[in-house]
Amino acid sequence: MLENLTGRLSRIAKTIRGEARLTEANVSEALREVRMALLEADVALPVVKAFIERVREKALGQEVIGSLTPGQALVGVVHRELTALMGGENAALDLAVTPPAVVLLAGLQGTGKTTTAAKLAKMLAAEKRKPLLVSCDVYRPAAIEQLKALATQVGVDFFPSDPGQKPVEIALAALGHARTHYHDVLVADTAGRLAIDTVMMHEIAELHAALKPVETLFVVDSMQGQDAVNVAKAFNDALPLTGIVLTKLDGDARGGAALSVRQVTGKPIKFAGTSEKPDGLEPFHPERMASRILGMGDVLSLVEEARKSVDVEEAKKLAEKVKKGGGFDLEDFKQQIGQMRKMGGLSSLIDKLPAQLAQAAHSSKMDEKQLRRVEGIINSMTRDERVRPEILKASRKRRIAAGAGVPVQDVNRLLNQFEQLREMMKRMQKGGLAKMMRGMKGFMPGMR
């Protein structure tokens, strides 16, 4: 979503060359690029103006230390100010109250409140809590059934309600149920409208007064652009918000909401929705997001995702196998693709890489579709063929291609690429990391 902004800002370091310090002249030149980048990303104009002035003030006269170039020094200032703009540090949910702690979700219709409620409940359940989901939306057709289905999907409890009931009546009944059934968190989804209206604001204020939530989260669609700022301000005026959830950060919009909403409301961004999947909700880390915007990647989030998703025992077995000279076969390759899928898929991984590596990954033309094709070819093989790919002769290849619904050339291409990967694994075993990295440069250019 933030590709255009990232592309522009990551060029800042190249605009200032060969000077010993940051001056009015060279800073102004670079800040013009920053200003245009932020405006094109749909960041609100007042936010852009205030941000540019803070960067100018912090950057002017700053000495360029050690091996840093002036451009790199300015990027450092921009990174710090971007981090501050989005809140500085991750703000976790404050659930330290007598159970059940109530989390109320508010926002317009279509922002992803209902899916966010289910994702949040799944995240809380993973933290050994016992959440209860309830829908107070009696207006949108099938809203209650949607949340019920999502609750089943993520494996958490759901409090049934009926469109004929009043929202406050549903909320209080759910709260009573949560108390008597030892749920420690109640996550309440509320009704939205296509636009802000008095009735909606009155109803959400009534729900807030009845439930007395410890967290009131404003859910905003990051693809809304400038409108997101006006909506955020209206909700902030009507409710004592405690935080913001940005949804659809994996979309193709310009992403200005991520930089505007925090500044306008003064409330921290607590979570970011990164996909439609049940686990597509992440704690929002301003510093990491600033790094991603500036093309530095988000390696910390990548490592955390790996820790949560990767089967450590399987990884150890593979490492031992390679170490003992057991070789790397197509069965191992298939398992690695499965591990990648658990971590959100190829696009999610690439999104967290530094700009140069991400660009290389994109230019390799390897995408989710190609990965599925590779997986389909491997699945069409027998176990013996996966373990001993050298036995794959013409007749077997024709059978595999027919089973996977691809031309025989695709099977040959996969086998050639796999041989390159296996050769790299051998080099890594011998400690030739530099050779291995050089070998990876042209690996998997994509199947046509």
pLDDT (tens digit per residue) in 146-156: 999 999 999 99
Encode 244-255: b = buried (16+ Cβ within 10 Å), e = exposed. Answer: bbbbbbbeebbb
Lowest-confidence region among 218-222, 257-261, 384-388: 257-261
**What average pLDDT score do residues 410-418 get?**
87
- Give SS3 for 107: coil
Asked if 1 contacts 255 with a C-beta cutoff of 8 angstroms, the reply is yes
Asked whether the predicted pLDDT for residue 332 surpasses 70, the reply is yes
Domain that holds residue 59: 3-85
Q: Of all helices (H) and strands (E), which one includes residue 159? A: strand 157-159
pLDDT value of residue 448? 41
pLDDT value of residue 186? 96
pLDDT value of residue 187? 96
Ranges 119-123, 243-247, 299-303, 361-365, most confident: 119-123
List pLDDT tens digits, range 256-286: 666 778 878 888 889 988 777 888 888 888 7
Encode 173-185: b = buried (16+ Cβ within 10 Å), e = exposed. Answer: ebbebbeeeebbb
Last residue of a domain, one of 289, 318, 334: 289
Binned at pLDDT 50, 70 and 90, residue 16 comes out as: low
60 and 107 inside one domain: no
Q: Does any domain span residue 91?
A: no
Overall residue count recorded for the chain in this entry? 448
pLDDT value of residue 364? 45
Asked whether the predicted pLDDT for residue 329 surpasses 90, the reply is no
What percent of the chain shows pLDDT beyond 70? 68
Phi, psi at 247, each rounded to 5°: -105, 165
57 and 128 inside one domain: no
330 and 245 inside one domain: no
Q: Does any domain span residue 360?
A: yes
Asked whether the predicted pLDDT for residue 58 surpasses 60, the reply is yes
Distance CA 160, CA 373 (A): 42
- Pair of tokens at residue 101: 């702690």
Binned at pLDDT 50, 70 and 90, residue 445 comes out as: very low
* Nearest CA-CA partner of 379 in 354, 355, 404: 404
336 and 285 inside one domain: no
139 and 258 inside one domain: yes
Q: Does any domain span residue 140?
A: yes
pLDDT value of residue 136? 93
Q: Per the omega criterion (within 30 degrees of 0), is the bond before 100 cis?
A: yes
Binned at pLDDT 50, 70 and 90, residue 408 comes out as: very high
177 and 266 inside one domain: yes
List pLDDT tens digits, range 93-114: 889 899 899 999 998 888 889 9
Binned at pLDDT 50, 70 and 90, residue 194 comes out as: confident
41 and 133 inside one domain: no
280 and 132 inside one domain: yes
Q: Does any domain span residue 93?
A: no
Q: Is 373 left (phi over 0), alpha (psi -120 to 50) or beta?
A: alpha
Ranges 17-31, 117-131, 279-293, most confident: 117-131
- Give SS3 for 103: strand
CATH number at residue 134: 3.40.50.300
Question: How many alpha carbons fall within 13 Å on the CB side of residue 130?
Answer: 10
Last residue of a domain, one of 257, 289, 321: 289
Binned at pLDDT 50, 70 and 90, residue 356 comes out as: very low
Q: Does any domain span residue 44?
A: yes
Last residue of a domain, one of 34, 50, 85: 85
7 and 34 inside one domain: yes
Overall domain count for the chain: 3
Binned at pLDDT 50, 70 and 90, residue 357 comes out as: very low
Distance CA 326, CA 330 (A): 13
Return the higher-pLDDT residue of 122 and 75. 122
The distance of Cα 97 from the centroid of its chain, to the nearest Å, equals 29
pLDDT value of residue 275? 78
Asked whether the predicted pLDDT for residue 182 surpasses 80, the reply is yes
276 and 315 inside one domain: no
CATH number at residue 413: 1.10.260.30
Which residues, in sequence order, are CB contacts of 311 under 8 Å at separation 6+? 339
Q: How far is CA 321 from CA 157, 332, 422, 429, in A?
A: 42, 10, 13, 11
pLDDT value of residue 355? 46
The distance of Cα 249 from the centroid of its chain, to the nearest Å, equals 6
Q: Does any domain span residue 323?
A: yes
CATH number at residue 28: 1.20.120.140
pLDDT value of residue 309? 52
Binned at pLDDT 50, 70 and 90, residue 446 comes out as: very low
Which residues, in sequence order, are CB contacts of 237 under 8 Å at separation 6+? none
Q: Does any domain span residue 117?
A: yes
- Is beta strand 281-283 parallel, antiparallel or unpaired with respect to 269-273? antiparallel
221 and 109 inside one domain: yes
131 and 244 inside one domain: yes
Return the higher-pLDDT residue of 368 and 74. 74
pTM of the model: 0.63
Q: Does any domain span residue 445?
A: no
